[in-house]
């Protein structure tokens, strides 16, 4: 068991099973489903509310009942810790710049940072317009066999495949 | 904040997130190369993980629901226009960043520095979304199908659909080698 935790990679069927079971556990024990994008909306809203006190009223943005920092926010913080823990145990070292990116756009970290920022921006705009992301729609929605979840998966693969083929001609 | 709140919300969320982040990192899906290569069809880890999670989770959800242990929660929502438009945008972003929101956070945890710029971009994207929300929310009201689930759409039992997915997943693993 100890050596397993120190592995650099687990096979996909194991990881997928773990995620499926985790999704079940959160439903049964906490009445929550896995999801990552709403936390970003909340963190962003909280930050903006701090900096610009009139923010909520101005946009008419409603946060449903309770504190703006909710279960999903702690979930996302947990993801950060979990990713760190896994890498720490296995000695995983990430590439400075992903090699597929570098093969196509060169070794400039600045360029990669800009790409990541823009990508993240478009990603989250899409996620919140869809009201979910791969965790929320594809996995949680997918396991519920939701039409929203399955349509989302088809949409992201359609545009993701097209975009990747346009952006990354080398190093595939 | 009551003790129960801390237990349910803080501890519950953190623990679930830690497990999730751990699994994502171990799965390799917190890596740009893995995700982008899925879109390029040279690495099928992403689909394998997703399919397995959906089949395992789905069998669990519907079995527990069958025995009235859990209700079907509101993730089973009818697809609205925002899902389609948002999904198309999401794919563009995912191919550019090389990560999705959850895997990007896991990537930051594992030490990928570029992931932090992805996080900044995501926070900015969320902020812009909030600002544009009055003009976007109309999309959420345009329903594309009244069926909340695919099995309702097809008029079959959820277990039939899950059975097909299970068989499909097994075949996928058997025949698609990276």
pLDDT at A41 over 60: yes
The minimum CA-CA distance between B85 and chain A, rounded to whole Å, is: 7
pLDDT at B109 over 70: yes
pLDDT at A59 over 70: no
Predicted TM-score (pTM) of this structure: 0.95
- Residues A37-64 have a mean pLDDT of 76
CB B115 within 8 A of CB A155: no
Tokens of A117: 């920022």
pLDDT at A151 over 80: yes
pLDDT at A65 over 60: no
| Nearest CB to A147 within list B50, B72, B148 | B148
Q: Give the separation between CA A89 and CA A85, rounded to whole angstroms.
A: 6
**Residues of A whose CB is below 8 A from B68:** none
How confident is the model at residue B3, as a pLDDT?
76
pLDDT at B178 over 60: yes
Q: Which ipTM value was assigned to this complex? A: 0.95
Percent pLDDT > 90 in chain A is 81
Q: Give the separation between CA A36 and CA A39, rounded to whole angstroms.
A: 6
With CA atoms as reference, report the closest residue to B125 among B96, B150, B151, B152: B96
| Nearest CB to B95 within list A71, A95, A164 | A164
How confident is the model at residue A48, as a pLDDT?
81
Which residues is B1 bridged to in the sheet? none
Specify the higher pLDDT residue, A46 or B15: B15
- Residues A90-117 have a mean pLDDT of 97
CB A82 within 8 A of CB B164: no
pLDDT at B39 over 70: yes
**Residues of A whose CB is below 8 A from B147:** 147
- Residues B8-21 have a mean pLDDT of 95
Question: 10 Å Cβ neighbour count for B146?
Answer: 10
Q: Would you place residue B5 in the very low, low, confident or very high pLDDT band (cuts 50, 70, 90)?
A: confident
pLDDT at B16 over 60: yes
Give chain A's mean pLDDT.
Answer: 92
B42-52 tens-digit pLDDT: 999 999 999 99
How confident is the model at residue B147, as a pLDDT?
92
The verdict on a CB contact (< 8 Å) between A165 and B39 is yes
Burial per residue of A27-39, b for 16 or more beta-carbon CB atoms within 10 angstroms, e otherwise: beebebbbbbbbb
The residue among A54, A64, A74, A123 with the most chain B CBs within 10 A of its CB, best to mutate, is A123
């Amino acid at each position: 068991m100890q050596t397993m935790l120190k592995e650099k990679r687990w096979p996909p069927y194991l990881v997928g099973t773990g995620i499926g079971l985790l999704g079940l556990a959160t439903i049964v024990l906490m009445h929550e489903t896995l999801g990552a994008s709403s936390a970003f909306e909340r963190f962003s809203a909280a930050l903006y509310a701090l900096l610009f006190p009139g923010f909520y009223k101005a946009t008419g943005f409603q946060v449903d009942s309770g504190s703006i920092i909710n279960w999903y926010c702690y979930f996302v913080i947990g993801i950060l810790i979990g990713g760190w823990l896994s890498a720490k145990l296995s000695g995983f070292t990430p590439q400075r710049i992903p090699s597929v990116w570098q093969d196509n756009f060169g070794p400039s970290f600045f360029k990669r940072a800009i790409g990541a920022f823009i990508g993240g921006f478009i990603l989250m705009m899409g996620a919140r317009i869809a009201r979910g992301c791969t965790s929320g729609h594809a996995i949680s929605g997918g396991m519920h066999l939701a039409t929203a979840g399955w349509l989302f998966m088809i949409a992201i693969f359609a545009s993701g495949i097209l975009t990747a083929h346009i952006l990354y001609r080398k190093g595939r | 904040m009551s003790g129960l709140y801390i237990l349910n919300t803080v501890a519950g969320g953190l623990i679930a997130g830690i497990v999730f982040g751990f699994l994502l990192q171990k799965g390799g899906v917190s890596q740009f190369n893995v995700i982008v290569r899925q879109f390029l069809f040279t690495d099928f880890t992403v689909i394998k993980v997703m399919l397995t999670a959906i089949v395992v989770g789905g069998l669990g959800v519907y079995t527990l629901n069958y025995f009235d242990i859990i209700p079907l929660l509101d993730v089973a929502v009818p697809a609205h226009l925002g899902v389609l438009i948002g999904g198309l945008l999401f794919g563009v972003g995912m191919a550019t960043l090389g990560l999705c929101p959850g895997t990007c956070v896991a990537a930051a945890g594992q030490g990928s520095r570029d992931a932090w710029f992805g996080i900044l971009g995501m926070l900015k994207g969320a902020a812009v979304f909030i600002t544009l929300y009055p003009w976007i929310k109309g999309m959420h009201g345009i329903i594309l199908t009244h069926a909340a689930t695919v099995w309702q759409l097809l008029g079959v039992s959820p277990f039939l659909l899950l059975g097909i997915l299970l068989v499909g997943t097994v075949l996928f693993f058997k025949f698609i080698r990276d």
